[in-house]
Amino acid sequence: MAEHNILGKEGEEIACELLLKKGYIIRDRNWRCGRNEIDVVAEKEGRIIIVEVKTRTTDHIDDISKIITPAKIRHIVNAGKAYLKFFGLSQELQFDIIMLYGNKDNLSAEHIEDAIMPPMYFYR
């Protein structure tokens, strides 16, 4: 496995640990629907939380919109809708991002809740 893939998997482990410490329930990891994938599906307070995990070797990200593009948002939102439909769920969706910075020996995490607002077509 390539080094960046290993770092990404370690980032997902840390993200799940962070969510568990905050009282979230982890429902799924790396859930796929067609070409769309959800890194982490969690649940808290009756909401289904779709979590996009981004791990970078830099110490910060100046512009998150360069990482979470409109196309990526579409994929995340569509995957979230598909998840609800697949499992017959009616809970409200929340879209979070967990950013991890650093190297494999020292990653720091930032959890951004409600980071993604779905486009208007999502509510139809």
CA 117/CA 115 separation, integer angstroms:
7
Assign 5 a pLDDT band (cuts: 50, 70, 90).
Answer: low
What are 103's strand-pairing partners? 106
CA 122/CA 77 separation, integer angstroms:
8
CA 36/CA 56 separation, integer angstroms:
21
pLDDT at 87: 96
Burial of 76 (0-12, 13-18, 19+ CB in 10 A): buried
> 57-111: per-residue pLDDT in tens?
776 666 676 678 888 888 999 999 999 999 999 999 999 999 988 776 777 888 9
Q: How crowded is residue 117: how many other Cβ atoms within 10 Å of its Cβ?
A: 10
5 HSE (CA, 13 A, CB side): 2
The proportion of the chain whose per-residue pLDDT surpasses 70, expressed as a percent, equals 81
Q: Backbone phi, then psi, for 35, in 5-degree steps?
A: -90, -5
Per-domain residue ranges of the chain: 3-123
Mean pLDDT of 16-38: 95
CATH class of 3-123: alpha beta
**Are the CB atoms for 95 and 118 separated by under 8 Å?**
yes
Assign 120 a pLDDT band (cuts: 50, 70, 90).
Answer: low
Residue written as token pair 């939380």: 49
